[in-house]
Structure 1
Amino acid sequence: MLPPGKVPPEKLEELVFTHLGKKDGRVIIGPGPGIDAAAIDFGSSVLVASTDPITGAGKGIGFYAVHVNANDVATFGAVPRWFLVTVLLPEGSDEGLLGMIMGEIHESAEKLGITVVGGHTEVTPALGRPVVVGTMLGEVEKGKLVTSNGARPGDAIVVTKWAGLEGTSIIASERAEELERSFGREFVERAASFIGMISVVEDALTAVEAGVHAMHDPTEGGLANGLHEMADSAGLGFRVHADRIPIREETLRICEFYNLNPLALISSGMLMVATPPERAGKLVEALESRGIKASIIGEFVEEGDIRVIVEKGKEKPLERPESDELWKVV
């Protein structure tokens, strides 16, 4: 039986990547482990396309749909431009719910300069809660395309913002009453407000200008899964340091309350970057000059079987999460 969340990489290799239709020479980057978008040759430019569903959120589901898909496109160095969306509603939904979701999509897309160009809406007995599936398209000049599998041995791993931002926001919104009894309303409202930091479009486009080898947006499975995905796609290993990983106090307290691992909590809002070690300091400076927190947390290594986290001077394996910690709560 498959666990909740992303399908495990070995099952993708067996059941998905072996069934991809006709080969096309214009496809620069197609499906693969740890690859969140496709890149297609359009002459002088490259079309970058990504699709992602939002299944674990109620409030803000339209907001998440736009930003999560825009993030994936931006990690390829492309500017997100066009959005298609499928909105699936459970039986008994009223017009107000559809209007709310579309209002969130419109507001989020307009803020990022994105046009909604199509999609589908449907009420279906197959669901118990709304599901929104987005497809984002963007463009980048051929010479500026960044691939998610481009990390090299020795590259520094730089991250922006904090781990677990999206998961913290969702849990604070979905379990507000319960959390308020333990932490107070101000704490819960502050944690829920992390939704406002979910975009990495500016992070990614700033990083591209500073010079990078690869970028990735850690979604389901959080930072831990994101590290494995980047390593998978490049055939590398990694070493990261626990005391360098930025995590907000609100995330730590909520994770402790529900016995969750913050490193395996959905982390849209954090950008992961592989960059030559000699450029890492300047990359951090470039990001922080835009008001974007940035941290160097470790490095990629040539040995693919070395995937460790250093805690109190001792290395231990950083396990790949079987599913996102969010599913234990919502």
Structure 2
Amino acid sequence: MKYEEDDLIILGHGSGGALTNQLIKDVFQDAFGNPILDELLDAAVLEVGGGRIAFTTDSFVVDPIFFPGGDIGTIAVCGTVNDLAVSGAEPLYLSSGFIIEEGLPIADLRRIVQSMRESAKDAGVHIVTGDTKVVDRGSADKVFINTAGIGVIPDGRLLSPRRMEPGDVVLISGTMGDHGLTILAQREGLSFSTPVESDCAPLNRIAKAILEAGGDGVRCMRDPTRGGLATTLNELAVQSKRGILIQEEEIPLRREVVGACEMLGIDPLYLANEGKVIAVVAPSVADSVLEAMRDLPEGKGSVKIGQVLGEEEGLVLLETDLGATRILGMLEGEPLPRIC
């Protein structure tokens, strides 16, 4: 479907789901399309001076700007570091651009910047350039942050959904939906017997462990942010032109996430994550990769959830607890705007 001249942007265009993909294809790809951009990876892979670098950019508008487990500064650093890491790069340098609404307390800005410093230190990267703009009161919502990142890709390393083969194993590094539920709980005033926190964290250490354990058997990696696990798997299925089958009972979910989603009518598989990785690996290296993931604190909950199919091109199938199989589609609409 092509957009008409009188069509308008809606919140769903920022969901990371079907509407976002349509917007990218019909507006941005149509205007900017080139062989590098058309790969639609989390970071562009560029040939520079006889080597390769990964380059990515992201903008952060999360509401609220402070939440259990992090803040907008934590996400700004981790989100960009993670896009580099899952592309197979060693993250090195970030930029940071701030759009600040008049009236934001300096103490809040200082707190955000300190979070960025700590997250960058944890990830082993440096923030080396930036920009600051201030807009009139009411022209933004407290603060928006853009970060761009550069990392180096070692010779011989190639990660792409196009490398996925039938029989490949799908791994994830822990519970799904923690970040999305945390933001939802903050907005709606929900409380739980066990506190729920965002999983926001850098992924470069676990990505490195995956690559060292799996070598060339690592086909691709992704971080399931906007649109959650379900949408990210759909993107991999479409880009690889393969099917993916996952087992519902193998997907780790916190009890609080399941309970809140049942109450609110939201599928937790579409909730955003900010510190989890999906790895698609050859069956011959799956066990060694899984062991390497579990050896790290951020990967101790890692599990196998499914496999790549030779048929069902472009589809993700979910085998339920009852043994039935249904199509798990891409996110439609926007159940929770401004999640990152």
The correspondence for 2:30, drawn from 14, 18, 32, is 18
Distance, in Å, in 1 between the alignment partners of 2:249 and 2:119 is: 34
Cα deviation code 1:145-204 (max 9, x no counterpart): 4235432232111111111122133334445xx223xx35xx2xx312x44x53222221
Q: Distance in 2 between matches of 1:326 and 1:285?
A: 34
Aligned to 1:316: 326
In 2 relative to 1, CA 258–160 (structure 1 residues): closer, same or farther, beyond 3 Å?
same
Map 1:185-224 onto structure 2 (within 5 A). Answer: 187=194, 190-192=195-197, 194-195=198-199, 198-211=201-214, 212-224=218-230
**Residue 315 of structure 2, aligned match among 285, 300, 306:** 306
TM-score, normalized by length of structure 1?
A: 0.87
* CA offset digits 1:7-61 (Å, max 9, x no partner): 432332221112227x6xxx7x43444x211011124532111111222241110
Kindly report which structure 2 residues correspond to 1:257-272, keeping only aligned pairs within 5 A, or say none: 257-272=263-278
Structure 1 CA distance for aligned equivalents of residues 292 and 39 of structure 2? 31
Secondary structure of the residue aligned to 2:170 is strand
CA distance in 2, matches of 1:319, 1:308: 8
Q: Give the corresponding residue for 2:97.
A: 86
1:326 equivalent in alignment to 2:311: no
Pick closer, same or farther for the CA change 1:66–1:328 going to 2, 3 Å.
closer
Residue in 1 that maps onto 2:128? 117
Matched-pair contact (CA < 8 Å) for 2:226–2:339: no
Give the secondary-structure state (helix, strand or coil) at the position aligned to 1:327: coil
Q: What residue number does 1:295 align with?
A: 303
Q: Which runs of 5 or more structure 2 residues have no equivalent in the other structure?
A: 1-7
Distance 1:149 1:124 in 2: 43
| Higher mean displacement: 218-227 or 306-315 | 306-315
Is residue 54–residue 89 contact of structure 2 (8 Å, CA) maintained in 1? yes
Amino acid at match of 2:279: V
Paired positions, count = 314
Match among 151, 161, 166 for residue 138 of structure 1: 151
List per-residue Cα deviations over 1:200-221 (Å, max 9, x = no partner). 2222111111220111111100
1: CA distance, partners of 2:229 / 2:172: 9
Partner of 1:240: 246
Q: Does 1:103 align with 2:114?
A: yes
1:302-324 superposed Cα distances (whole Å, 9 cap, x missing partner): 33143211111111110210245
Asked if 1 retains the 8 angstrom alpha-carbon contact of 2:237 and 2:314, the reply is no
Which shows bigger deviation, 86-95 or 212-221? 86-95
Q: Percent identity?
A: 26
- CA distance, structure 1, for counterparts of residue 163 and residue 100 of structure 2: 39
Mapped contact 1:77–1:204 kept (Cα < 8 A)? yes
SS at match of 1:278: coil
**Which digits, 9 at most, give the CA deviation of each residue in 1:91-145, with x for residues without a partner?**
3223223222211111111221111111211222431242111111111212124
* SS of 2:84 mapped into structure 1: helix
> Could you tell me how far apart the structure 2 residues matched to 1:10 and 1:173 are?
30
Question: Shift of the alpha carbon at 1:329?
Answer: 9.2
User: CA 1:268–1:100 in 2, change beyond 3 Å: closer, same or farther?
Assistant: same
Aligned amino acid, residue 40 of structure 1: L
1:164 corresponds to which residue? 177
- CA distance in structure 2 between the aligned counterparts of 1:261 and 1:323, rounded to whole angstroms: 13
**Counterpart-to-counterpart distance in 1, 2:182 and 2:207:** 22
Q: Secondary structure at the match of 1:109?
A: helix
Q: 1:79 to 1:136 in 2, by over 3 A?
A: same
- Contact in 2 for aligned 1:165/1:269 (Cα 8 Å): no
**2:99 aligned with 1:67:** no
Secondary structure at the counterpart of residue 230 of structure 1:
helix
Partner in structure 2 of residue 50 of structure 1:
56
Does the CA contact (< 8 Å) of 1:151 and 1:214 recur in 2? Answer: yes
Normalised by the length of structure 2, the TM-score is 0.85
SS in 2 for 1:277: coil
